Structure 1
Amino acid sequence: MKSFSSIEWKSGAKNSWAMFKKGCSNIMPTLSKLSKAFLLPIALLPIAGVFLGVGAAISSNSDAGTFGYFFGTLLNKMGDVCFGNLPILFCISVALAYTKDSGIAAITAVVGFLVMNGMQAALLHTQVMDASNVWAQINVAGSGEGTTQTLWVSFNELASIARFGDVIQYVYTTSDLSTTQSLEGVSYQVVNASRELIDGAGLVYYSLLWINKIPNGLITSNVGINSLNTGVFAGIFVGAIAAKCYNKFHQTQLPSAISFFSGTKLVPIVTFVAVIPLSLIFMFIWPYIGMGLAAFGQASGNLPGGIDSFIYEVAERSLVPFGLHHVFYAPLWWTNAGGSIAEAFNTANEAQQNAFVEIWMKNHDAVALGLPAMPKFDDIRNLIASRPDLWTSMGDQTMAYKVIANTDILNFTDLEALNLNIGRFQSGKFGFMLLGLPMAGLAMWLNVPKENRKEVMGIYFSAAFTCFLTGITEPIEYTFLFLAPWLFYGVHMPLAALSFLFAGLFKTHVSMTVSGGFIDYIVFGVIPFFGSKAMTAKSVFAILGVAVIMAPAYFFSFYFAVKYGKVMVPGRDGSANAQLATKADYKASKGLNVDGSKIEGSTSKVSAKDAVEEARIQKATKIIEFLGGEGNIVDVDACASRLRLTVKDGSLVDKDGIISLGGATGALVRGTNVQVVYGGEQEAIKPRMIKILDEQRKSKK
């Protein structure tokens, strides 16, 4: 037998590693597009969040029937409807992202989403128990005047009893209850008057195929269709299928007899059929996955002292340089992996139930809400369950918005007793957005030689103020990420994780849209606190305390790291012209190209607008050249702050050349995936690059 030598082993290992690297480089563009797809619905959330938060504050502080009440409710529902339909918004955005913004693909995605949920609705049903084994416990008049007695009566005999009084409960059991008044030692299940199995909140259990007792929290209304509550997951998969069908069939020519259905008309037909297996897969496995995710969401909330928040931020911040952080936090923000209202109530033990009732009674008026003066846990749970949008909400951000919209019956402090610390995957961001990263910018600026500080002051301070106000971090983060990655992973990431740890430790519940800046803090912290007492003063103002802690931590860490690490931050290399923003607009207004040459055909009569446009076209053309030319470019896209590109050969990309054109704070090349950080200008570059590439390719045909 031939022996396997160490040389052969090493060769095989080397080849395996090469194949692994190639596979990773190929998957990066796909994940990058997915991350970009998430930004489309996310971009809607800030304005929707403002309407929801402000509307809830106005309506909760206005008497019912007044103008303020209706106006606040109007604003609230306008924002709330966006969060209630996130799955289909994600479905459409994924389809658009993978088809170069095709409207046909978007419509097809909607068709697929409706078909998938319609299949589930057809097979979803409640569990109706056999009437012969259902018993009703009733109160009837006793033998003495003014007395009552409790009887168990068979469901089939209930209607024939002449003196039957109030029904206390219905149960399903194979035991004979006619001789007992107690259920002690009897195996039973609670049902409603329609003989349907119900949970502790009085909501029906569902059955799907062979799976019984599916919790009500895993069922919701998707675009008016009662189906599985899959969060954004199903929407993402349907969007991907719609995109695949569009890319493969939108140019298909069918035989003449059925040619009417050719091309784009064929796409929704194929997708209609293609989503059937997907719907079946979700029906087979999602009830189990959903319950597993719910268990994870609840268990992670039991970790002590903000550990769950700390772990979350280590992972989330590590993915930021690759633009994949949106993919990571989506399940935690918008599915039951981040927690579930219904699951929190249904799994609460006796101690948690008692603690919840005690806290809830301090925060709410039970009688005004139609409950007994001393309500039981089940009374409050039934009240919460009467609002399906609140009861079935899941995911850290979704639950936060639903609670803000329903603070009259539930707030963040109440839920602490059930170990549901809403905001644990969001609140920590305020600490380093408000003061942490701005102080890092100040530290970097103070490392610039004094003679150059005035020249670059505007760059650093505008970036710091942008971070503070809106939570947009790219101008600062990418300045040191591409100059010295160890600053990002060795200084910034640990500090950001500590910010989340402190926020989790203090049980802060301030939500956000996607940024975590001062605007979000006002809308989701200050307004809910003063408007409807959605959280405690400690919860909302501890955020500022965390920010105060992070300010000196970031300042001194970055000051000494930049100084002794000899990081050449903009302006430190002696150049007085260092910039983090584009020069193109300024030069274009002078009739100059990016390289300083005069724009061909320009005269003193050329308007500044025309000159700016010409400069942008020139810049887009240069970027194409630095990417290896038209033949090396596969796809051009953009997200909130980056130009995202897919190329055939990453080794042909001249990222230094791209940065030299101005405006970019850094460029990243990973295999065939290229990302250039602009912070805003990418939205102007993308359409011009696409137009130029189309013209170049047409000229070669």
Structure 2
Amino acid sequence: MMKYLQRLGKSLMLPVACLPAAGILMGIGYWIDPNVMSGLGTPSALSFFLVKAGGALIDNMAILFAIGVAIGMADDNDGTAALAGIVCLIGATCYNRFKNTKLPDALAFFSGKRSVAIVTALVSIVASLILFFIWPIVYSALVAFGESIIGLGPIGAGIYGFFNRLLIPLGLHHALNSVFWFDVAGINDLFKFWGTVDGAVYGQTGMYMSGFFPVMMFGLPAAALAMYQTAKPGKKKNAYGLLFAAALCSFFTGVTEPLEFAFMFLAPGLYLIHAVLTGISLAVTALLPVRSGFWFSAGFVDWLLSMKAPMAENPLFMLPLGLVYGLIYYVVFRFAIVKFNFKTPGREDDDELDMDESKVTLANNDFTQIATIILEGLGGKENVTSVDNCITRLRLEIKDYTKVSEKKIKSAGVAGVIRPGKTSVQVIVGPQVQFVADEFKKLCK
């Protein structure tokens, strides 16, 4: 079940990747004319065009998610699954099961992949009857949880932020995000912030996004500095290469996994502190008259583009707030690392993360060599049964877990290695994972 949910979370990233493009278009449009969609006066033609161009994606996100999930859950990512996905969200399951179906000669035209959409439609009828009774219960639970958070105000935002970080190791934080950012429970914080739907309240809308900016733009980079400065002298160079790139990624794009996975399993106590600090950030920011939003994540790019969004409130105040929070992160992380001797990058007791034996790093952009080292660390292509990737991780299935050498894999300069099961390995690469995955698949042929 966990493997299935993680794969589902990865599949959701395919349509989510469309959001940055839509956000950039709408952000520039609102930057040119903040009142473009207000109906007041004559809107700028250029801003209207840009906002509508972004809206063309946003307004059809339901279809994009149906297609993305279907392709992502299909065994071979075949486009036929996308057609089945339009019929039902369980299209990928039907595709995997019936893509090789052989029918009698009289019906041969509908054999194989052509049968998938037909079977999906039939299965959908049965699923709909079942969900008619089950889904109201599930939906009511989501709504009740969302409403309880709304009722708690800033404290509720803090609770959400805390659990948002705690669920990242399992890849299930996307499910929680959907409750608050989208329209699952009527909150729809993301779309209301950008003015694409009605119901926004100035000073309130955006409270489930704003608190992430101080953490991702300032807090985590400051934490990276603390980890670098507390690294052992002989390992600072290697720690610097990992931490600097991850901190830069967090600041500009809001993608935090490369940095978080650098200490999540090495120092779980420190990661718990990070989750608490994130919760506090969302609570404090929700109390203040400061609102910023994003389409992708709470990095500098999204912050800049959201400054003139309809529900943006004192976005420049995010800078002094972030600087203060960065100082808090630095002090707390440095104290905790030294006090409790957390094994952050560069502070390990052994040489497992010592990458001196290899000069290869992600910064070299030699993705073929990186993929080669990872494959060697997995025991060769004969030991690999499945290759997949999400936005930052290489997700692999193997035959024999005893042949896996984490030390060898980490010598490629990756952020970390996760072993969720005996036959599962996840390699934390970062935003460049697609290039590594492409080369890895070539090597496995």
Shift of 1:338: 5.0
Q: Which of 625, 635, 651 lines up with 2:379 in the alignment?
A: 625
Shift of 1:281: 4.6
Give the equivalent residue in structure 2 for 1:333: 181
Give the TM-score, by structure 2 length.
0.86
Q: Which of 38, 42, 52 lines up with 2:16 in the alignment?
A: 42
Q: Is residue 500 from structure 1 mapped to residue 251 from structure 2 by the alignment? A: no
Give the equivalent residue in structure 1 for 2:94: 245
Give the equivalent residue in structure 1 for 2:340: 565
Instruction: Return closer, same or farther for 1:436/1:498 CA change in 2, 3 Å cut-off.
Output: same
Contact 1:570/1:579 (8 A) holds in 2? no
Give the equivalent residue in structure 2 for 1:469: 252
Give the equivalent residue in structure 1 for 2:211: 428
Contact 2:368/2:436 (8 A) holds in 1? no
Contact 2:193/2:200 (8 A) holds in 1? no
Give the equivalent residue in structure 1 for 2:328: 553
Matched residues in 1 for 2:326 and 2:181: separation? 27
Matched residues in 1 for 2:368 and 2:252: separation? 33
Q: Is residue 584 from structure 1 mapped to residue 360 from structure 2 by the alignment? A: yes
Give the equivalent residue in structure 2 for 1:106: 82
The correspondence of residues 138-537 of structure 1 with structure 2, limited to 5 A, is 238-239=88-89, 241-281=90-130, 293-294=142-143, 296-304=145-153, 306-339=154-187, 395-401=188-194, 403=195, 405=196, 412-413=201-202, 421-448=204-231, 457=240, 459-489=242-272, 491-506=273-288, 508-524=290-306, 526-528=307-309, 534-537=311-314
Give the TM-score, by structure 1 length.
0.57
Q: Is residue 654 from structure 1 mapped to residue 408 from structure 2 by the alignment? A: no
Relative contact order: is structure 1 or structure 2 higher (C-alpha 8 Å, sep ≥ 6)?
2
Q: Is residue 666 from structure 1 mapped to residue 416 from structure 2 by the alignment? A: yes
Instruction: Give the letter for the 2:424 counterpart.
Output: N
Shift of 1:637: 0.7
Instruction: Give the letter for the 1:434 counterpart.
Output: M
SS of 2:265 mapped into structure 1: helix
Matched residues in 1 for 2:363 and 2:201: separation? 53
C-alpha offsets along residues 550-587 of structure 1, whole Å, 9 cap, x if unaligned? 22221111112222333454445799x9669x843799
Shift of 1:83: 1.7
Contact 1:59/1:70 (8 A) holds in 2? no
Instruction: Return closer, same or farther for 1:439/1:649 CA change in 2, 3 Å cut-off.
Output: same
Instruction: Give the letter for the 1:269 counterpart.
Output: I
SS of 2:379 mapped into structure 1: helix
| Runs of 5+ unmatched residues, structure 2 | none
Contact 2:377/2:404 (8 A) holds in 1? no
SS of 1:433 mapped into structure 2: helix
Shift of 1:326: 1.7
Instruction: Give the letter for the 1:687 counterpart.
Output: D
Output the aligned Cα RMSD: 3.3
Give the equivalent residue in structure 2 for 1:55: 29
Matched residues in 1 for 2:64 and 2:336: separation? 43
C-alpha offsets along residues 204-228 of structure 1, whole Å, 9 cap, x if unaligned? xxxxxxxxxxxxxxxxxxxxxxxxx
Shift of 1:646: 2.9
Matched residues in 1 for 2:217 and 2:323: separation? 9
Instruction: Return closer, same or farther for 1:296/1:479 CA change in 2, 3 Å cut-off.
Output: closer
Contact 2:374/2:408 (8 A) holds in 1? no
| Runs of 5+ unmatched residues, structure 1 | 1-26, 113-237, 340-394, 590-611, 696-701
Matched residues in 2 for 1:473 and 1:443: separation? 16
C-alpha offsets along residues 506-530 of structure 1, whole Å, 9 cap, x if unaligned? 2543211232011111112x223xx
Q: Which of 614, 637, 658 lines up with 2:388 in the alignment?
A: 637
Shift of 1:440: 0.9
Give the equivalent residue in structure 2 for 1:28: 2
Identity among equivalent positions (%) equals 33
Matched residues in 1 for 2:103 and 2:51: separation? 49
